[in-house]
Amino acid sequence: MHVRPSYLLAFSFLAAACQEAAVCEEGSVDSNGTCVAPPAAAVQQVRLTHLDVAYDLSKPVYVNNRVPITFGITANSDDPANSGPRNVAVTFSFVEANPSDPQNPLACSSSAINVEVIGDGTEQIVEAYIWPTTQCAALAAKNAEVNLQVDFDGGPELAAEIGSDLDAPSVVFSEARRGDALNQHCRASLNAADPKPGCVHPIRLQPTPTGAEGTLTDVRYALSSSSSVAVLSRQPTEDIGPDGPPDVDPAIIVQSRFVINGRDPYISAVDPSQIPPSLLEAVPSIEEDLKFGLDDAALAALSAPPGKATVSYTIQSAADGMTKLPLTIRDPANPKSRVPEVVVDRIVPGTANDAVHELYLEGAALEAVSPGGAWANQSDFVIRGCFTGEFAQGGNEGDGDLDDCRELEVVLVREASSSSAASSRSFDKEFERKLGNDRIAIESRMSTQNRLDLSGAFSRTEGEVALKGKIGKSFDLTMARAFADASLAVDPTKTSYEVGVDAFGQRIFGVSEQAASIVQTEDFSAAKSFTIGSLGFGFGPVTVGFKIGVGGSIGIALEDTLEALSDSAACQDLLKSAEPITACGRMTRITSPNFGLTGTVEGGVDLKIVKAAVVADLRFITTSFPLDTTLGFGLTGNEKLLVRGDVTWDMSFTPLEGDVSIVGKVGFRRFAKSLKVHLFSFSSPTFETRLLSASMGTPEELQ
């Protein structure tokens, strides 16, 4: 195989540390838990073996409205057992079915879909969207039937320049060619009893619909959550910390998705300061080209709804489909406040725009699910999210439910009181967020456990942040992890302490000690980075290879003391008890893990007729979650074991947010000359919260 470095951004094949058989650093692959140089790609033949248009083709398809498709791609090689992965750009075009000039049919193309294939003969099924862009206007104006055409890696126009040895001919799936051998390889149905060979899908392409105020848009809305459980958190009424109770937890975190039809998917504003120097050098006019002939105001308007737009949420009992009660939302503009609806003021064309919202049970909804309320005995509920636009909408109607409301079925769990038993007392809390989408996502898990029992006092705080996704290939990388355990035992010989900080699967800081008395003061921080390479995404007719870099600071600050005391007055003060105390144990901790990680995305392609680069503004996570706790136990003169504790756990959280695009020039007549292909857009609010605030006013006797 001969591939130019400028095309796939070939990286050095150096062995690198492996991330628990999940992600290897740029230039290496996992082999039985070890990161090694990848095998030479041996894929030699690619065929489209399935193509279905998930759309009611009795209805027209409009220009600049996306069309859902499912396709299967099968790759083969002479040595399947040793075939390495290879990125293949799969491009679908809309082609005039019955052209007046058969030698020059009108055609227009959607940007390529990158698929990583291995030549073992296994069919890969891909779900995707294709767009008939503004370049299709002339074809739509004829109100003629169109068919689909598939090309691989730019087809014959690029084969010579990239030195491709891939056997992957272009195919037009028309009725006239249904019987051709290449067409017969493709089946429209996955039903073996009726495969519908030939994959002919007649499409009626029409101009974008218009209304009184011009071209119509159509915002498609979707709703999801990483959890099917909503939680009614319990606000404590006793043992409340000196600064008041903890902040109320959201009942559920949801993700709303917005896609705008009716605007060219490959035209939107580009920040000129983010255009890489390499692209400016390769295409000196690129900054002006990426204005698409529009002024700044017109460019900005392309990513804004044509009128006021909002999203709001309600809850209803599954047993009561009539009553819907409003949920409140953490205000993205003022995270200390909650609002009944959130304004949607930005929807970048051509991609899914995701926004995370934290939903709260308040007012009538809280009253209904609380003891004595109408839904007090109900556990099955429906969360309903609705997009509301104060503007006329219109577009494709053949791709399913057009309602601007979506529903999630959830189980409502009512939080129990803090654990307290005759033999123990504990103060525990967990925090979890899964933010992003299937391309780029950040998963965060933090927790603390603080326990007093007959063996003594134990405290643990921990946190972990992982980067997951799929852009050409899948990746799953634990970026940072920190934990700090402290155990103060009634038996001093069993008192122990352990701290660990990991970056990208490697231990970068650790403390372990066992002694009757332990004092640990540390402020550790390290700058670390990791690169995930060999990723790819379609741009015009080709795949643009790129890499994601993760970098930033990972650390932990410690002010922890574990000690045994014999001074009765000090023990009485610790336990807030007037009883004589012969001996006691005191644990005081201010333990603060902190992660500050940003993302960089670099890559591009420099061919004669395709020049492009990645433009990204991406933040992964910045968070600290300090634990401030005092746990104590003491033995009285009459052998009673008394315990008392204070625990405060705070968090500052700046989560995943940003945009990633590919911009550049294309010299293919089926594409616009300048393109911006947007592959990721996500927003979520920054906030500070008190997760745990507890203080035992009086000691408790354990038995």
Q: What is the pLDDT of residues 85-124, one digit of tens each?
A: 889 999 999 999 999 898 899 999 999 999 999 899 999 9
- pLDDT at position 17 is 37
Q: Report the CATH fold assignment for 209-268+303-417.
A: Immunoglobulin-like (2.60.40)
- pLDDT at position 13 is 24
10 Å CB burial of residue 658 (0-12, 13-18, 19+) is: middle
- Phi and psi angles of residue 320, each rounded to the nearest 5 degrees, phi first: -135, 90
| Residues lower than pLDDT 70 in the chain | 1-22, 26-33, 37-42, 417-421
- pLDDT at position 40 is 58
CA distance to 27, 66, 138, 144, 171, per residue, from 102 (Å) = 46, 27, 16, 14, 15
- pLDDT at position 375 is 97
Residue-range domain boundaries for the chain: 39-207, 209-268+303-417
* Distance of alpha carbon 567 from alpha carbon 145, whole angstroms: 92
- pLDDT at position 37 is 67
Answering whether pTM is above 0.85, one says: yes
Say whether 137 sits in a helix, a strand or coil. helix
- pLDDT at position 6 is 30
Name the average pLDDT for the chain.
92
- Amino acid at the residue 61: V
- pLDDT at position 416 is 78
Take residue 276 and report the two structure tokens written for it.
């890489």
- Do residues 518 and 560 make contact, with C-beta atoms less than 8 angstroms apart? yes
Take residue 243 and report the two structure tokens written for it.
């600064």
Q: What is the pLDDT of residues 542-578, one digit of tens each?
A: 999 999 999 999 999 999 999 999 999 999 999 999 9
Number of Cβ atoms within 10 Å of the Cβ of 276: 18
* Distance of alpha carbon 540 from alpha carbon 542, whole angstroms: 6
- Phi and psi angles of residue 465, each rounded to the nearest 5 degrees, phi first: -130, 130
Q: Which CATH architecture has domain 39-207?
A: Distorted Sandwich (2.70)
- pLDDT at position 672 is 87
- pLDDT at position 12 is 27
Q: What is the pLDDT of residues 417-454, one digit of tens each?
A: 655 567 999 999 999 999 999 999 999 999 999 999 99
- pLDDT at position 3 is 32
